[in-house]
């Protein structure tokens, strides 16, 4: 069960891409062998592909596989790495959260619009945006808190080291005086 929850996005993306591939293969076979395709497969395959892409983007973000995320942290000095990671994740929370908010508005606008072939609500497709960016906001918030805790613990360690150095210095001074 833990594995299912941990890899939920990967499984969901895999499910949708599998539907896409299966429907496209079935439709190709139907058209070239039987000279008639199934009219709804193209629309379902397209919508399934959209879901796969957006959920896959969230899964990639969760595993930090997006290309630009670590670019800044590679070029800053070692001392500022944790701070830069924290700031990047903070801005990612804001950006992804804002896009998730915009997708709520978009989903509301598409609720009444039927799809061309199936006639189901277009909100089914646009909900992929909402789910994806909500998950990315969650992951970014998780990364931000993680980096914040590391940054705070690093600061505490630095203060502790400074205090220890002062104590050692005081001890050395006392020993010299004695």
Say yes or no: 84 and 155 in one domain.
Answer: yes
Say yes or no: 17 and 82 in one domain.
Answer: no
| Cα–Cα separations (whole angstroms), residue 161 to 81, 143, 164, 166 | 20, 26, 5, 9
Say yes or no: 51 and 80 in one domain.
Answer: no
Contact status, residue 126 vs residue 107, Cβ threshold 8 Å:
yes
The residue range of the domain holding 78 is 67-178
Q: What is the C-alpha radius of gyration for the chain, rounded to an integer number of angstroms?
A: 26
Say yes or no: 60 and 71 in one domain.
Answer: no
For the chain, 178 residues long, give each residue's pLDDT as a single digit of tens: 777 778 899 999 999 999 999 999 999 999 999 888 888 999 999 999 999 999 999 999 998 887 665 677 778 887 788 788 888 899 999 999 999 999 999 999 999 999 999 999 999 999 999 999 999 999 999 999 998 888 888 766 766 666 666 666 556 555 555 5
Contact status, residue 55 vs residue 128, Cβ threshold 8 Å:
yes
DSSP conformation letters of 91-151: HHHHHHHHHHHHHHHHHHHHTTPBPTTT--BTHHHHHHHHHHHHHHHHHHHHHHHHHHHHH
pLDDT tens digits, 11-29: 999 999 999 999 999 999 9
In the listed set 16, 48, 66, which residue is the last one of a domain according to the structure? 66
Say yes or no: 71 and 60 in one domain.
Answer: no
């Amino acid at each position: 069960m833990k594995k299912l929850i941990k890899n939920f996005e990967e499984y969901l993306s895999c499910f949708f891409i599998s539907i896409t591939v299966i429907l496209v293969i079935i439709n190709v076979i139907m058209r070239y062998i039987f000279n008639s395709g199934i009219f709804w497969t193209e629309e379902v395959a397209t919508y399934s592909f959209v879901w796969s892409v957006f959920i896959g983007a969230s899964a990639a973000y969760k595993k930090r596989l997006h290309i630009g995320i670590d670019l800044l942290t590679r070029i800053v000095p070692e001392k500022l790495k944790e701070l830069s990671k924290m700031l990047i994740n903070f801005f990612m929370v804001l950006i992804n959260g804002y896009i998730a908010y915009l997708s709520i508005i978009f989903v509301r606008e598409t609720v009444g619009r039927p799809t061309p072939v199936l006639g189901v609500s277009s909100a089914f497709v646009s909900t992929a945006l909402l789910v994806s960016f909500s998950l990315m906001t969650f992951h970014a918030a998780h990364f931000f808190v993680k980096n914040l805790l590391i940054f705070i613990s690093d600061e505490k360690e630095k203060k502790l080291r400074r205090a220890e150095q002062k104590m050692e210095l005081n001890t050395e001074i006392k020993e010299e005086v004695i």
